[in-house]
Every structure is written in C-alpha cells, then in structure tokens.
Structure 1
Amino acid sequence: MTGQQQIYPVLWSFRRCPHAMRARLAIAAGRSRVWLREILLRDKPDAFIAASPKATVPVLVLPDGAVIEESRDIMIWALQNSDPQGWLSVWQNDQPFCTRFLDHLDGPFKQHLDHYKYASRFAAEVGEESRRMGAEFLAEIDQKLAAGSGFLSGAGFGLLDAATLPFVRQFRGVDANWFDRRDWPALHHWLGMFLASEHFAAVMHKYPPWHVGDSALLFPA
C-alpha cells in the first residue's frame, strides 16, 4: 500500500457472514472508509491469518496496527468515530440493556441458529430443539417491536437493529416457508423493510476475493 492508502483501516470480510455484515452496516452508516478485503472462508489468505490468528471474520486492522476482532466492537468503533444517523443513541441511553441483549444474541441465540442451520451435523432432535429455542427469542423480538416503534433501537433504526437483522435473515434462510408462517407480524415487517433498504443494498455488493497484489477496494465505495 502507498502512504495515502495506509490512512484507512483494513477490513477483512466475507459477504454473507452476519457478523461481517453488521460490521459493514455500521461502517457504512458512520461514513467511515476502510480498505475492504473480501475473503473465501475455505481459502483464507496468509495475511488474514497473520493479522488475526483466530481467523474468523470480520477483522479490522487500524493504521497503527491495532486489531479489532469482534464485530460488535467494530460497530462501536465505527459509530463512535462518526454517527450521523444516531445509531448509538440506544447504547448511550442504556448500555446495560444493550449489553444483555447482544450477549444473548451473540451467545445462546447464535448457538441455536448454528445448530438449526447445520442440523445435519447433529442428532435430529438437536436441530428441532434449536429451532424452537431460537424461535422463542424471535417471538420476544416480535413483541418488543410491536410494543414500541417497530425498531429495537428506539424511534428509528439503530445499533441493535443492525446488529440483529443479519442473524434473523440467516435464521429465515434455513427454511423460509416455515419462518414466513410464524405469527410474528412486527418481525416480518421489520425484516422486510431491512431487506428492501438502502442499508442492506449498500453492504451486499459482490466483491472478488482479495489476493496479494490486488488493487485496493475502498468501502463504502
């Protein structure tokens, strides 16, 4: 990279990964600029593994060499740098609630999602139970949305919505027919708005996998 290019962080990402997706959502919303390096999970570049030996996306490498390896932390970093849409207001107003919610999302719910999505790797009852447990959390989200403004973050779309929706999208993708028959009207509306939004379109452009020597890709473009 040239000296000019080095003023931007490097984001290692994988387009369909919900963790990477929510990191890109926050970076785009905050109007930060990063050099995007799209990877294939089956063919991880040596430079990616050197930057973060745990080798899971997303990973953000700052110009000073510091590394941020958790998607939630990348979101907070991006929005603390710049938050023109006020996505962080829910975090600033009630950080303990946000932390509890995100801990459940990233912990038990994500585990249920993985066991449901990859049910063939487990006993049949594991997949069924994981879907049931995941659905309980989604039903709670539906109730929160219905009781409030239609968003998790307050009056409008914000941190909690961006952090959660990529995983809801993935849960639906396992069996869309089953998902669409659930009595979750507020959640279906919320997800539908997201999938039709500029937020989603802005982070789902297809980029070729990065290789050593490739031209740098600036994100958002």
Structure 2
Amino acid sequence: MTPLPILYSFRRCPYAMRARWAVLEAGLLVQWREVELKAKPAAMLEVSPKGTVPVLVLADGTTVDESVDVMHWALHQADPRDLTRRHCLTQQAEIHELVTTNDGAFKHHLDRFKYTDRYPGACKDQHQQAGLAILHRWSQRIEGHEGWLLEGGCSLADIALFPFVRQWRIADPQGFDSDPGLQGIRGWLQAFLDHPGFERLMQRADPWAQGGHQPHFPADAIAVPTDQPLFHLALAEDWAQAERGGLYSISTRGLSLQQVGFIHLSWRDQVSDTFRRFYADAQEVLLLTVDPRRVLAPLRADAVPSGELFPHLYGALPVEAVTSAIPYPTD
C-alpha cells in the first residue's frame, strides 16, 4: 500500500484550516503532524525551510507548502462537489480573484486590525474600515448568489476565505454581528461553523514528535479495505439511467453526489439497517455489489453521528465496478 501523504498543520491557522477542509472534501486520508509554532519540528523545516504551515509531503517526496496549492492538489484527486468549477473558466477566474484579494489586501488589513501592536505605525481604525469594505463587497456577492460567493453553490473560494472571515469575527464579534451590511456573510460564516465538517476540521491532536503517536486526518475516519465487496441500495430507475450513461451519481435516496459530496456505501452487515431506515417504503430497490478495486475516486470510511463507520465513495461510481444489481429485499 502506498504511504499516506504527510500534512504538517496547526489547528487554528486559517491557511492550514482551508487545506484540511479540502482534504475532507476530497475524501482523503493524510498522516497528520500537528505543529507547535514555537518549536517547529526539524523534519518539517528540512522539507520547507520557510517554516509556515501547511506543508504537504507526498509519497514520492514532493513538497507542497502553499495552502492554495495543497487545496488544488486535494481537489485534483477528487472534487465531487465541483468546488474548482472544472468546466467554467469564468468562475475559475472569479475564484482566483477572490482568493487573491483575501490573501493580499484582506489579510493585510486583518493582521493590522487584529494585531495592531505588532505593526508600528499601523492605524487600527483605518485597517478596520478597509477590511470592512472588502467584507461588505463579499457579503453583497453572497446575498446575490443564494448564500455563496459564486453562483451555483459552494466553491473553492468559499472554503479558502471562511477561515479568515472567522478570524475577523473573533477580533470584533460585536461589530461583526451588529453590522447591517454584513448580514449575508454572517449567515454564510455560520453555515460553515454549523456544518458537521467543522467539528472534524477542528479536531485536536498533540504536537507531533518523531517516534511518538502517528495520527491521521481526519481522525474519525479509516481507509476502506479493497479486499471485500461494498454495497449500495439504489432505486431501479436511478440504476437504469446510470447503465445508459456509464456512471452512477446518486449519493442516497433523493440526493445527488454533488449535493452530498460522496456516495453512501455499506458493508454487508450494514445493508439491512440502511434499507429499513431509508428504503422500506420505496418501490423497486436494487442491491448493488461494488468491487472497490474498480472504482476510480477515493474511498474513505467516515463516522456518522452515531459513531458508526460507513464507507463513502468521493466520486461517481463506474457501472463496470458494479458486479451485480439484484432486487432487494429478495424473497
């Protein structure tokens, strides 16, 4: 088995946060090395002397040490919600412009508003007003695009910007929450904070040490073994459509892969409970048997709210990966 990539990270760093969110979105697992900023590990400094997180070290030794590049690497492996807008050059340009403004002007003003004493000569009020002007523009975009920075739902821009907007609110919660011009961006930020993925994103780990415990991220997930079949319950009409097109893209009953971000799968002993909970009143349900060695997208077993692990496929299911499709339940 190919070794997992190594990700040096720091829990509260907004650059590291957005890199980890991309790893979550892509259904990946990485070796997780939490960094203590006052005592950065020598192993990290050897591969990235600039000494900032995140730093990603791939299995072949390649180092990726810019957060946007880590995000693009992860979403190149799998992008089930099309966060990068693969087929829309106009929206790709919008994403680039938003991230550039965030990482440049907005971060400049955020630092000097939040940590004024670190910047001799900086005027807190001036940087506050300049930062708020950017936030107001973003808020208007969000209100005009049904709750997101771009038309069509969540994008790479949203996950790249939200950790920095969160930092602004932490610096001035009263002002952020009472500003009538920030209504759109307040709801947008709260949607991230309330998302189940945020708790996973902010899981804690002790600072990494050579020879110590070697956790992975996300900590509540495991790799899916490829030597045993996986199963999925599908409505017959959805499977018939997939057979015509070659790909199955339904996450679970009534929800698409793009809406959820992965396709729900089960191990054999989980199928009957899944049927009772979600499909007992459905007509013409099929049990698909999936050969995990034939899928193209990442597989990761994630914990559901009950704590039980379920296998998830972070991309479309090729029809040829399904070895059988039979009525369920059988007589």
Letter in 2 for 1:190: W
CA distance in 1, matches of 2:39, 2:52: 12
> Is residue 47 of structure 2 the alignment partner of residue 46 of structure 1?
no
Unaligned runs of 5+ in 2: 220-331
Instruction: Find 1:66's aligned residue among 62, 83, 94.
Output: 62
Question: How far off is 1:158 after superposition?
Answer: 2.3
CA distance in 2, matches of 1:128, 1:91: 42
1:204 corresponding residue in structure 2: 202
> Is residue 129 of structure 2 the alignment partner of residue 128 of structure 1?
no
- Give matches, 1:1-221, under 5 Å: 4=1, 7-89=3-85, 92-93=88-89, 94-122=91-119, 126-183=123-180, 184-221=182-219
Contact 1:90 1:159 in 2 (8 A): no
CA distance in 1, matches of 2:150, 2:65: 24
Letter in 1 for 2:80: P
Give the number of the structure whose residues are more often helix, by fraction: 1
| SS of corresponding position for 2:207 | coil
| SS of corresponding position for 2:39 | coil
Unaligned runs of 5+ in 1: none
Letter in 2 for 1:193: A
Contact 2:112 2:122 in 1 (8 A): no
| SS of corresponding position for 2:37 | coil
CA distance in 1, matches of 2:57, 2:87: 24
CA distance in 2, matches of 1:64, 1:197: 34
Letter in 2 for 1:194: F
Q: TM-score, normalized by length of structure 2?
A: 0.63
Cα distance per residue 1:5-47 (max 9 Å; x no partner):
x621100000000000000000011011110100111111111
- Identity among equivalent pairs (%): 38
Letter in 1 for 2:184: A
Contact 1:38 1:207 in 2 (8 A): yes
Question: How far off is 1:149 after superposition?
Answer: 1.6
Contact 1:13 1:36 in 2 (8 A): yes
Cα distance per residue 1:83-107 (max 9 Å; x no partner):
1222222784432222122111101
Question: How far off is 1:193 after superposition?
Answer: 1.1
| SS of corresponding position for 2:127 | helix
Q: TM-score, normalized by length of structure 1?
A: 0.93
Letter in 1 for 2:130: M
- Higher normalized contact order (CA 8 Å, seq sep 6+, divided by chain length): 1
Question: How far off is 1:126 after superposition?
Answer: 1.8
CA distance in 2, matches of 1:170, 1:144: 20
The root-mean-square deviation of aligned C-alpha atoms, in Å, is 1.6
Of the two, which has the highest radius of gyration? 2
Q: How many residues align?
A: 217
